[in-house]
Structure 1
Amino acid sequence: MLISLAMSLAGAATAALPVVAADLDCAKMLEIRRPAGAPRPIEATDLIETLDIGSNGGMESDPVFTLSPDRSRLAVAVRRADGKSNSYCSGIYIVSQDGQASLIDAGPGVAFWRYDNFFGTRGFPTGVTKVITPLWASNGESLAFLKLINDRLQLWRWDVGGHSRPVAAAEDDIVDFHFGPDGKSLVYKQRADGPPTEELNQEALRGYRLDERFFPFASRAPYPRGVASYRFYNVNLDGSARRTATQAEIAAFANDRSAALRKGATMVDVKADAEGMSRIHMLIGTAEQFCRSASCTDIEGQPWVTQSGHIRFVRREGWDRSLAAIYEWKGGDTDPDRLFQTSDLLMGCVPIDDDVLCVRENATRPRYIDRISLQDGKSRPIFEPNPDHAKIVHGRVERLQWTNAMGISSFGDLVYPPTFQPSRRYPLIITQYESRGFLRGGTGDEFPIQLFAKAGYLVLNIERPQSPVSAKQLAPLERQRRENADFSARRNILSTIETKVLELIDAGLVDPDRIGITGLSDGSTTTQFAALHSQMFKAASISGCCWEPSQTWLLGTAIQQHYQSIGWPASPEASSAIWSQMSLSRNASRVAFPILMQAADGELYPTLEAVRALRAANSPVDVYVFPDELHIKRQPTHRLNVYRRNLRWFDFWLMDKMPADGIEREEASRWAQMRRDWVQRPIHLPTSD
């Protein structure tokens, strides 16, 4: 058992996903679903089964799409989850500039990103999908891409007018590649984890030594020590001959893929100036120049050089950096000119003629590829993966801006029920902690915002406010240490939420007796803090949990040492002041609201201390554990059931609704018993010790 576990940890990050149904037709599943019929209410599958492009997390900066050399076509990888078969399909689309899209490859499965270096070990999984970036040959006649086959990423090639076929199928994942300088070969980067895996297998027979390789909260086996290692090979386009890559071919992986960064003698990048501020930086020959304007900071993605030698770039600006804008800088001491601004999320923008192609999304529109004219600001979609969403009824979304009690600005989106009536007060659900782009299910995608709205809730989705530690040029660890002092960062977030909720109550929109809060990861931490520091919320649902004394041994030596360095206790007995402010187990009788936990089995152990104490105190808590899951849940059927249980939980506690029959009614009957057993005591909010 331990040997097979060690192998799965060192292997592809998709190993734990369920077997794909043999009859799954991926070509059909990846078809673009056109709008049909009359507008209809949204369903859970509309959110789970979108045709997605790019990653579901910000772990990589690789391009989502690439343009052909003649700029007439783009290539983009897609994926779709399927709730019925609990599986995925992935594929590649070729799209012309007039929007004609052709699926040129399709197959089962999806690749997930894993750490090259996780506290001195490698291969730690995340549940975040890996970005698959197709690359064009210099003549535009073929395309190369990574494809998942039998839980391994292989290198494939497609020729115009032909079919896709494998070029290299290694014993471990191929994670990156580029065309050789002659255009007749491909150079690829392959994980080289075989020998360390064998070492772990041999160690398993003798017994693993408990050391810094262990993260007990996630695994009963160690991870391989050291950062990920790679091998590099050159292979002919037909896969007939392979050799070890040269140093020059290997060095090419360090070069940026975007030729737009350089135009003639002009090169542009983003670089820290003498004060440590990241700015637009231009190099003409050997002459270096920074753009000193405030509009040349907060850059998103890569800047580029226009045909006329000017610099264009995307930046965040406006209230709490909630807007995206495109600027042009002509060099020298001039201020850049703003060419375009939007509240939509823009990603991976690249120039095409005098326009720009961007991955784009907004609160009610899933991700798509848009061509934006920088002359008049008009745009037209080039690739619209989910046109069927135009016929789905979404609740109206209102962008809100405010300042919390600590004087820190933030923003969020208020989503109204489709049948909203101004004369009524509504129950409210808080979701966290990003509010730029498509409002699917909050960070981690577990709390279905539009499904809540459809069920009659107002939903306030919060963007995490900027740090209350305003000092510049602080080392990251020192900033975290200051944020943890007296939980200033957590108080800042809670104040942001409470300030806006009180405004909504005063405006007559929200029923103060029916407010729920949700969260995953950082959002779960805020919810845990609110359970001991707020009387506003009546129910909560979280994913992973909790910050407890047991974390000092559950996290493992490496992570625990990191947390000690930013102010967390060294042992369960130390720093009672911190546990009195944060621990649910030490304060179980004071927890202010019922809590639903829907945990990945890979994060079960950290919940147990709090759950035992809450149950002993008759404080309502229910826990569901999803097998073969990680920090971000991957399995589509799990995510559907997480969605639906979250809705039932809030329906019970905030609307006093009981399901009619079946397993769902049995589930709610347990919640009803919890409510009868719950002895609510007055909440005495803790003060700093």
Structure 2
Amino acid sequence: MSGARTMRAGTFLLLGASLLAICPDARADASCEHLLPGPVATGKATRLINADDLVRLRDIGRPEGSAFSAPTPLGASPDGQEVAFIVRRADPNRNDYCLGLVVASRNGAVRLLDQGGEMATASLDGEGGRMPTGVPEVWAPRWSPDGRQIAFQRRDDGVTQLWIVPAAGGKARAITQGKVDIEAFAWSADGQFLLVASRPAILADKDRVDAEGLGGWLYDRRVAPNIGPRPRPPVGLAVEARLIDVATGAQRAATHAEAEQLAESRNLAPLAQAADGRRAWLAPESTAPLSPERIKVRNRDGRDIPCPSPLCLGDVQGLWWDAQGQLYFLRREGWAKEDMVLYAWTLDDSAPRPVLRTRDVLLGCVQGGAALYCLRENATTPRYLARIALTDGRAESLFVPNPEFAHIRLGSVERLRWRNDRGLAAWGDLVLPPGARPGQKFPLVVVQYHSDGFLRGGTGDEYPIQLFAAHGMAVLSLERPAFVATGQPGLRTMDDFNRAMQAGWAERWSLLSSLMTGIDTVKARGIINPDRIGITGLSDGSSTVRFALINRPIFAAASISNCCFDANMVMMQAGIAFADKQRAYGLPPLTRPDPDLWRPYSVAMNAGKLNRPLLMQLSDDEYIHSLEGFTALREYGQPVEMHVFPGEHHIKWQPAHRRATYLRNLDWFAYWLEGKRDPAPAKQDQYARWDAMRSNMTAKMAGNAP
């Protein structure tokens, strides 16, 4: 049964005032009065999108549609009739967020149980220590076994505590008051206790580093110069599990069995436990890096049964049992994994049957009785909460966080497909301006590097796709192909895999081929001006931009969010741990330079010939990586401009910064691709700089400048 129904104007209006209940005990903030949507009048889409429409989107979970490996933000009630989640909305004027705990019922009722707290960002284990990312932390509320209370994480004054609130409404209260974050939690089977996980050792590490600083920090693998000279917290600090009595607050250390229960609740890998004791999980087919995983089931008699069907191998996103002992799983498949399919598998039947097939993205699915609750979105539909029946795949919308989009005219979206010169499948979404007419030609902006779900701002959310379209530009939103080393024989470890990716810049050439093939596919339609193509990117996408500017100089302007992977930067500016890793992957040390190896990729080595306007909008803990390339570009008089955002990481999380990057990117491409400028007085200094860049470029091309 097809589930690829587009949720546009009419269905956005399912959430009306009569369905929305604000719990009287939920703490209110006047600036957050629109955390939940109010009633929206019916009618056609009448206006174009603006930057604040995107910045102020109400989010559930991580914003990016391709973030299918992230933890689920959803918690289903024991009876399967309700689901709880945290709603987050940015306020760029205050440079802050509004957050609230929300419950949506199957009957359409929505209630706000708690409001307040701070947005938390996640860190990851990097080479030499923990690294901040800027990516929103994802916390799923959990219901007590009797369904009467909901426990949830909330961050205040820089520390994440555990809170509980009556599910029917009432005053929320914190049940932990520690100095370190509560990282995970679970209810006991009887609902009288809560298991919590934290890392008190992080305080002891802070004290040790503070003491070390009195005699000077040792510069070693702990230090990432881009973040700062202070040694980072080490990877693998011990997790401490405690048991808290919900009624009295009394605490004790968790037993080994209780700690294991808590650890299992933190596992992100798909795992399903049936009521009769059967288990289902994913197991790699081989020891090769990134080996596809196959569904396996441990039957009631303890036997492990692999699912023999090829449909059970690779890209499985979730596993669930129904009451009859049938296993359901959600899988990505089709051209470059663009489809999502829900399958049902009866263990004595070798062929799983499809229940739902859709090109929409389904995220964070959790089981509630005989249905899944999922976050659902597509190219022109922002994320909403859906209920999907396991029996027949019938889907219904339960909560639409952003019904205002029913009144916004968006550009049309068409999916294009191609293969690159390595035979790898890829796709791109071509977005044309609203009201585009046959015969019109547009400048083109390329946005990278995932194109899943709602087309917001590309990976990292800095390049506003629909805002570009509203201002007369076509957009090609790219989905990167599979890694070029995937399936390559003889690779035994991830180091082997990364060496194969980096050898001869193999991955970069593969991505460049996909990029150029996608652009040629659009060119063949005769709808773009080939002399007015811009390109953008963050992280891996930024690497693709720089590689393309050097090796395929067809672009009229570029904007990047990270820069630059140059020889000296790799071995000096990112620290000892990063340099050691890059040498292990085959790059030469600083003392034995290899210009021929670096020439296809180094901005610094190619600075004299780029001759393209380049905008850099960088975080303050990454801008140091750009200095080698930026300085070389500046010395050659190239049109380059850098902006550094304070308190940011790899992903920019502050609302004011996100709005600023949106608007500057819009101004940048409107200026260089369309010759347009915003008349606002506050922006005239930027146009004076850009006019000077253009004059210098013109003089250089005429041979009148060095």
TM-score by length of 1: 0.92
Q: Report the Cα distance in structure 2 between the residues aligned to 1:357 and 1:572, rounded to whole angstroms.
A: 56
Match of 2:561 in 1: 543
Match of 1:561 in 2: 580
Q: 1:171 aligns with which of 167, 171, 179?
A: 179
Match of 2:36 in 1: 31
Match of 2:6 in 1: none
Q: Report the Cα distance in structure 2 between the residues aligned to 1:514 and 1:163, rounded to whole angstroms.
A: 57
* Amino acid aligned to 1:131: V
Q: Report the Cα distance in structure 2 between the residues aligned to 1:215 and 1:148, rounded to whole angstroms.
A: 27
How far apart are 1:394 and its partner, in Å?
A: 1.0
Q: 1:151 aligns with which of 155, 158, 176?
A: 158
Aligned residues of 1:167 and 1:238 also touching (Cα < 8 A): no
Aligned residues of 2:113 and 2:169 also touching (Cα < 8 A): no
Which has the larger displacement, 78-87 or 399-408?
399-408
> Equivalences for 1:214-613 in 2 at 5 Å?
214-238=223-247, 240-256=249-265, 261-273=273-285, 277-285=292-300, 286-332=302-348, 334-469=350-485, 470-471=487-488, 474=491, 475-551=493-569, 552-571=571-590, 573-613=592-632
What residue ranges of structure 1 are gaps of 5+ in the alignment?
1-21, 683-689
How far apart are 1:102 and its partner, in Å?
A: 0.3
Find out whether 1:67 has 2:76 as its counterpart. yes
Q: Report the Cα distance in structure 1 between the residues aligned to 2:544 and 2:498, rounded to whole angstroms.
A: 15
SS of 1:401 mapped into structure 2: strand
Aligned residues of 2:80 and 2:368 also touching (Cα < 8 A): yes
Match of 1:8 in 2: none
Match of 1:4 in 2: none
Runs ≥4 in structure 1, deviation > 6 angstroms? Answer: none
How far apart are 1:630 and its partner, in Å?
A: 0.7
* CA 1:137–1:355: 2 relative to 1, 3 Å: closer
Q: Report the Cα distance in structure 2 between the residues aligned to 1:597 and 1:667, rounded to whole angstroms.
A: 14
Q: 1:48 aligns with which of 43, 55, 80?
A: 55
How far apart are 1:405 and its partner, in Å?
A: 2.9
Find out whether 1:183 has 2:195 as its counterpart. no
How far apart are 1:329 and its partner, in Å?
A: 1.4
Q: Report the Cα distance in structure 1 between the residues aligned to 2:507 and 2:152, rounded to whole angstroms.
A: 42
* Amino acid aligned to 1:542: I
How far apart are 1:406 and its partner, in Å?
A: 3.0
How far apart are 1:25 and its partner, in Å?
A: 2.9
SS of 1:427 mapped into structure 2: strand
How far apart are 1:592 and its partner, in Å?
A: 4.5
How far apart are 1:375 and its partner, in Å?
A: 4.9
Aligned residues of 1:75 and 1:93 also touching (Cα < 8 A): yes
Find out whether 1:635 has 2:654 as its counterpart. yes
How far apart are 1:260 and its partner, in Å?
A: 5.0
* CA 1:536–1:572: 2 relative to 1, 3 Å: farther
- Between Structure 1 and Structure 2, how many residues are aligned? 659
How far apart are 1:274 and its partner, in Å?
A: 5.5
Which has the larger displacement, 30-39 or 84-93?
30-39
Match of 1:137 in 2: 144
* CA 1:418–1:75: 2 relative to 1, 3 Å: same
How far apart are 1:386 and its partner, in Å?
A: 1.3
* Amino acid aligned to 2:196: Y
- C-alpha deviations, 1:31-67, integer Å up to 9, x for none? 2244347632111111111110112464964322111
SS of 2:183 mapped into structure 1: strand
How far apart are 1:144 and its partner, in Å?
A: 0.5
SS of 1:127 mapped into structure 2: strand
* Amino acid aligned to 2:649: L
Which has the larger displacement, 197-206 or 242-251?
242-251
Match of 1:86 in 2: 95
How far apart are 1:256 and its partner, in Å?
A: 4.2
SS of 1:298 mapped into structure 2: coil
Aligned residues of 1:33 and 1:388 also touching (Cα < 8 A): no
SS of 2:228 mapped into structure 1: coil
SS of 1:174 mapped into structure 2: coil
Find out whether 1:207 has 2:222 as its counterpart. no
Aligned residues of 1:167 and 1:239 also touching (Cα < 8 A): no
- C-alpha deviations, 1:80-125, integer Å up to 9, x for none? 110111101111101111121100001042111112x322323x21
How far apart are 1:373 and its partner, in Å?
A: 3.4
How far apart are 1:582 and its partner, in Å?
A: 1.0
Q: Report the Cα distance in structure 1 between the residues aligned to 2:592 and 2:147, rounded to whole angstroms.
A: 65
- C-alpha deviations, 1:410-440, integer Å up to 9, x for none? 0111111002112111100000000111111
Aligned residues of 1:589 and 1:681 also touching (Cα < 8 A): no
Aligned residues of 1:121 and 1:223 also touching (Cα < 8 A): yes
Aligned residues of 2:165 and 2:171 also touching (Cα < 8 A): yes
SS of 1:439 mapped into structure 2: coil
Q: Report the Cα distance in structure 2 between the residues aligned to 1:259 and 1:448, rounded to whole angstroms.
A: 36
Q: Looking at both structures, which has the greater relative contact order when contacts are Cα pairs under 8 Å and sequence separation is at least 6?
A: 2
- C-alpha deviations, 1:498-557, integer Å up to 9, x for none? 112122222111110100000000000000101110022110000110011222111111
Which has the larger displacement, 642-651 or 282-291?
282-291
* CA 1:218–1:391: 2 relative to 1, 3 Å: same
Match of 1:660 in 2: 679
* Amino acid aligned to 2:488: A
How far apart are 1:564 and its partner, in Å?
A: 1.2
Aligned residues of 2:195 and 2:262 also touching (Cα < 8 A): no
How far apart are 1:574 and its partner, in Å?
A: 1.6
What residue ranges of structure 2 are gaps of 5+ in the alignment?
1-26
* Amino acid aligned to 1:272: P
Q: Report the Cα distance in structure 2 between the residues aligned to 1:343 and 1:473, rounded to whole angstroms.
A: 35
C-alpha RMSD of matched pairs (Å): 2.1
Q: Report the Cα distance in structure 1 between the residues aligned to 2:49 and 2:263, rounded to whole angstroms.
A: 44
* CA 1:25–1:573: 2 relative to 1, 3 Å: farther
Q: Report the Cα distance in structure 1 between the residues aligned to 2:39 and 2:293, rounded to whole angstroms.
A: 43
Match of 1:9 in 2: none
Aligned residues of 1:534 and 1:592 also touching (Cα < 8 A): no
How far apart are 1:337 and its partner, in Å?
A: 1.0
Q: Report the Cα distance in structure 2 between the residues aligned to 1:218 and 1:572, rounded to whole angstroms.
A: 25
How far apart are 1:228 and its partner, in Å?
A: 2.6
Which has the larger displacement, 43-52 or 215-224?
215-224
How far apart are 1:226 and its partner, in Å?
A: 4.2
* Amino acid aligned to 1:328: A
* Amino acid aligned to 2:523: I
- C-alpha deviations, 1:565-617, integer Å up to 9, x for none? 11222216522122211111111111152100001111111111111111111
Which has the larger displacement, 298-307 or 425-434?
298-307
Which has the larger displacement, 369-378 or 285-294?
369-378
Aligned residues of 2:74 and 2:366 also touching (Cα < 8 A): no
How far apart are 1:446 and its partner, in Å?
A: 0.4
Q: Report the Cα distance in structure 2 between the residues aligned to 1:322 and 1:33, rounded to whole angstroms.
A: 34
Aligned residues of 1:361 and 1:367 also touching (Cα < 8 A): yes
* CA 1:513–1:27: 2 relative to 1, 3 Å: closer
* CA 1:374–1:648: 2 relative to 1, 3 Å: same
Q: Report the Cα distance in structure 1 between the residues aligned to 2:347 and 2:68, rounded to whole angstroms.
A: 32
Q: Report the Cα distance in structure 1 between the residues aligned to 2:343 and 2:559, rounded to whole angstroms.
A: 41
* Amino acid aligned to 2:177: A
How far apart are 1:28 and its partner, in Å?
A: 1.5
